[in-house]
Structure 1
Amino acid sequence: MTAPIRVVIADDHAFARYGIRALLEGDPTITVVAEASTGKQAVQQVLECHPDVIVMDVRMPDGDGIWATREIQRVRPQTKVLVHSSFEQDPNVMAAMRAGACGFLVKDDDETQLPRAIHAAASGAWIVSLSDTARMRPWFDQLATARRENAFPQLTPREREILNILAMPRQTTRSTANRLGISTKRVVNAINDIKTKLGVTEHDDLITMARQAGLGTHT
C-alpha cells in the first residue's frame, strides 16, 4: 500500500490551520505531520519532519511565505511548496513561483481543490488556481523559465549545467562528458556531489527531480 503524503501546514492564523487540518484529515491518503505559524518555523518543520508537501501561507511573521519557500528549496528541495493565500495579486503568484513553489491556491476557492492540489504537487505537477486564469497564460513561459533558472541554488553553475544535460532524453555520463569536453570521471564526481547536496542516492531519482524542476529541456 502506498504511504500517505506527508504534509506540513504553515499559516499564522490558528483557525486557518485548524480548518486545513480538519479538511486534510478526512483524506486517508494524506497525513498532517506538523504545523507552523511563522516562516522560520515552516523551514524548521520541513527540516525536522521531511514532508512531501508544505501548504504555505504568503503573509506570515518572522520570514514570510515567499522567503520560507526559497529557503526550503535551498535546504530540502524534495519538499514541494504549495502556496495557499487569501491574496490573489499577481506579484505574489510570480514571487512564489520564482521562489520555487510548485503551485498557488486562493483560500476562497472550492476547498475540495486543496487535497487534489496536494496530490498533484506531490507528483511533481504545477498548480495555479486563480479566478481569471486566462490573464495568466502569458506568464506561464515566464514561470517555467524562472523555475528553471532558480532551481537548486545550492549547486554550482557547473553542477547545474551537468544536471541539466543529464536530464535531457537519452543522455548518459559519457555523452555528458563528451558534450562538455571533460573527462567521464569529472562528470561522475560532479554527480556524486550533486546527489549529496540534493539529498538523493539513486540516479533515477536525481533525474526525476531535475526534470520536475524544469531542467533537461534547454542547453
Structure 2
Amino acid sequence: MEQGIRVVIADDHPFTRYGLRVLLESDPGITVVAEACDGREALRHVLEFHPDVVVMDVRMPGGDGLSATQEIQRARPGTKVLVHSEYEADPTVMAAMRAGASGFLLKAGDDVTQLTRAVRDVAAGAWIFHLSDTARMRPWFDQLRTARRDGAFPQLTTREREILNVIAIPKQTTRTAAARLGISHKRVENALTDIKAKLGATDRAELIALARAAGLGTPP
C-alpha cells in the first residue's frame, strides 16, 4: 500500500485553506493533517505531526511564511516547504528559496493537477518553480543549490559530511563507500550512527533523503 503524503496548509484566509484542502485531498495519496493561520502555528503543527510537505503562504499576520520556513528547516529539515503565493516578484521568490523552501507556486495558477503534482514532486525531493521567466532566474537557482550543498549540515564534522556525501550516491553500500573513501567498513557504520543521531534521522533511507535534498550525493 502506498505511503500517503502528509501535508500541513498554512494560510491566513480560511476559505483559501478550505479550497486547498479540497484540492489536495482529491488525490487519494495526499492527506492534509493540519491547517495553520500563520507561520508560528505552522511550525507547531510541523513539530507535532511531522508532515512531508507544508504548503506555505508568504504574507501572513502573526508570523510570516518566510520566517516559518527557516524555523521549519532548522527544526525538521526532512519536511519540505512549497511556498504558495500570489506574489511573483523576484525578491519574494529569492527570499523563499534562501529560507529553505523547495518550491514556489503561484496561487493564480491553482488547479487540482498543478497543485497535487507540485506537492508530490516536492515530497519526492524535486525543486518546483512556477515563474513567468524561469530562464532568467535559473543561474541564481544554480548558485543557491551549490550554496545549500556546501553549507549543509554544519553540525557534522568534515569527515562525517564526506561519508554522508558518498553514502547518498545512488547504489552505494557501506562497503563500497568505505572503499571509495579509503577507510574501514566499521568506521563508516559507526559514523552513520553518529550522523543519524545528529540529524534526527530514524533510518538510512531517511538519512539519504535528507542528504540528497541538501545537494549531497556527488562523487568526491
TM-score by length of 2: 0.85
Following the alignment from structure 2 to structure 1, what is the Cα–Cα distance between the partners of residues 121 and 173?
A: 29
Q: Letter of the aligned partner of 1:144 in structure 2?
A: R
Q: Which residue is equivalent to 2:142?
A: 141
Q: What's the CA shift for 1:139?
A: 2.2
The letter of the residue matching 1:20 is L
Q: What is residue 60 of structure 1 aligned with on the other side?
A: 60
Identify the residue that residue 151 of structure 1 maps to in structure 2: 152
Residues 169 and 28 from structure 1, CA distance in 2 versus in 1: closer, same or farther, beyond 3 angstroms? Answer: closer
Partner amino acid, structure 1, of 2:168 = A
In the alignment of these two chains, the number of paired residues is 219
* Matching residue of 1:161: 162
**Partner residue in 2 for 1:11:** 11
The offset of 1:55, in angstroms, is 0.3
Cα deviation, 1:4-59, whole Å, max 9, x if unaligned, reads 21110011222221221122232222111101122121111011011111101112
1:79 alignment partner in structure 2: 79
Matched residue of 1:192: which SS? Answer: helix
Q: Distance in 2 between matches of 1:178 and 1:4?
A: 37
Q: How does 1:1-219 map to 2 (within 5 A)?
A: 1-112=1-112, 113-168=114-169, 173=174, 186-217=187-218, 219=220
Cα distance in 1, alignment partners of residues 67 and 218 from structure 2: 27
The list of structure 1 runs, each at least 4 consecutive aligned residues, that deviate by more than 6 angstroms after superposition, is 178-183
- The Cα of 1:98 is off from its aligned counterpart by 2.3
SS across alignment from 2:12? coil
Q: CA deviation at 1:170?
A: 6.1
Amino-acid identity (%) = 69
Q: Which whole-Å deviations, capped at 9, do the CAs of 1:48-87 have from their partners, x for residues lacking one?
A: 0111111011122344222211221222122111111111
The answer for unaligned runs of 5 or more in structure 1 is: none
RMSD: 2.5
For 2:38 and 2:98, how far apart are their aligned partners in 1? 20
Q: What amino acid sits opposite 1:145 in the alignment?
A: T
- Could you tell me the TM-score, scaled by structure 1's length? 0.85
The answer to which of 106-115 and 146-155 deviates more is 146-155
For residues 87 and 44 of structure 1, the distance between their equivalents in structure 2, rounded to whole angstroms, comes to: 25
Deviates more, 1:188-197 or 1:152-161: 152-161
Please tell me whether the aligned partners of residues 73 and 152 of structure 1 are also in contact (alpha carbons under 8 angstroms).
Answer: no
